[in-house]
Amino acid sequence: MDVKNILQQVKNGEISIDHALHELKTQPFKDFDYAKVDFHRKIRNGAGEVIYGAGKTSDQIIGIMKTMIENDQKSILVTRLNKESALKIKEEIDLEYYEDAKIGIYGNLPNSSGLGKIVIATGGTSDIPVAEEAALTAEFLGNEVVRLYDVGVAGLHRLLAHLDILADASVVIAIAGMEGALASVIGGLVDAPVIAVPTSIGYGAAFNGVAALLSMLNSCASGVSVVNIDNGFGAGYMANMINHMEAK
C-alpha cells in the first residue's frame, strides 16, 4: 500500500486516520545487496535514517545516499566518514564535509525549531572532535547550539565564567576524557538535563575512556545521563529529542 492510496482511502472514509498512521509507520524499505534503506524512519522516530560511514565503502555510501535522494529525503547525515571517502562521494553528490567531526551533510542545515538552546561543553581541546560530532548532529536536526570548549575542572574558573550560558540551556552535553569530572560539576550547577559523553582521551589508566565512563555513570549529581565512549552523535540526537519534547 503506497502513501497516495492510503491518503485516498482516508479521504473516501474507507480507513481511519489512526489506521492510516499505522500503515505509514510500517511502510517497506528498499532492499538491495548491502543495505536496507528505511524511508519512513522520520515518520516513526521524528528524524530520517542516518548513515554510519565507518566500515562502508564510498560506493556503498553513494548508493545509499542516491536511493534516499530519489525517495525525496532532502537532507542526509553521514557520521564517522573519513576524508578519502568524503572526497569520492563529493565527485557525485553535493556533500559538505566536516573533517574534525568526521561528518558529511547533504542538504542545508534547517532553522532552529527547538524549545531552547543546547549547550555543549568540553573538558579540553582534545575533546572537540567528539563535541563537533554532537554539535553538527544537533544542528542538522534543527537546534541552536552554543559551544563552550576547554572549560574543564583543571581550571574551574573557566566554566564558572559562563554560568549565564549554562543557566540558559534547555539541555547540556558535557564531554570529557581523563577522569570525566566535568559532567558531575555541570550537573550540580544547572536545572537542565545533562548528557555526559566520556571520551577516549587520557593516559594509560584512563583505559581509552573507560575511567571517564565509570566516573560519569557514578555521578552524584542528579539529572546526569551517559552515552557511550566518544558517542557524540548519540548525545546530539538525544539532546535534540529533549529540546523538541512537548506534551503528547
Query: How far is residue 220 from each of residues 145, 182, 183, measured CA to CA in Å?
Result: 26, 12, 10
pLDDT per residue, tens digit, the chain (248 aa), is 466 777 888 888 888 888 877 766 656 666 567 666 666 566 666 777 788 999 999 999 998 888 888 877 888 899 999 999 999 999 999 999 999 999 999 998 888 888 999 999 999 999 999 999 999 999 999 999 999 999 999 899 999 999 999 999 999 999 999 999 999 999 999 999 999 999 999 999 999 999 999 999 999 999 999 999 999 999 999 999 999 987 55
Q: Do 217 and 102 share a domain, yes or no?
A: no
Domain containing residue 218: CATH number:
3.40.50.1970
Q: Do 91 and 68 share a domain, yes or no?
A: yes
Concatenate the DSSP letters of all residues of 170-192 into one string.
EEEEEEE-TT-THHHHHHTT-SS
Give the Cα-Cα-Cα angle 185, 186, 192 (nearest 5 degrees): 145
Residue 160 domain-assigned (yes or no): yes
pLDDT at 35: 66
pLDDT at 36: 63
Q: Do 129 and 194 share a domain, yes or no?
A: yes
pLDDT at 1: 44
Q: Do 33 and 146 share a domain, yes or no?
A: no
Containing structural domain, residue 91: 26-106
pLDDT at 39: 62
Sequence-separated (6 or more) residues with CB below 8 Å from residue 123: 150, 151, 152, 153, 154, 175, 176, 177, 178, 180, 181, 182, 201
What is the DSSP pairing of strand 51-52 with strand 35-37? unpaired
Q: How many domains does the chain have?
A: 2
Q: Which helix (H) or strand (E) holds 242?
A: helix 232-243
> What nine digits make up the cell of 38?
528505511
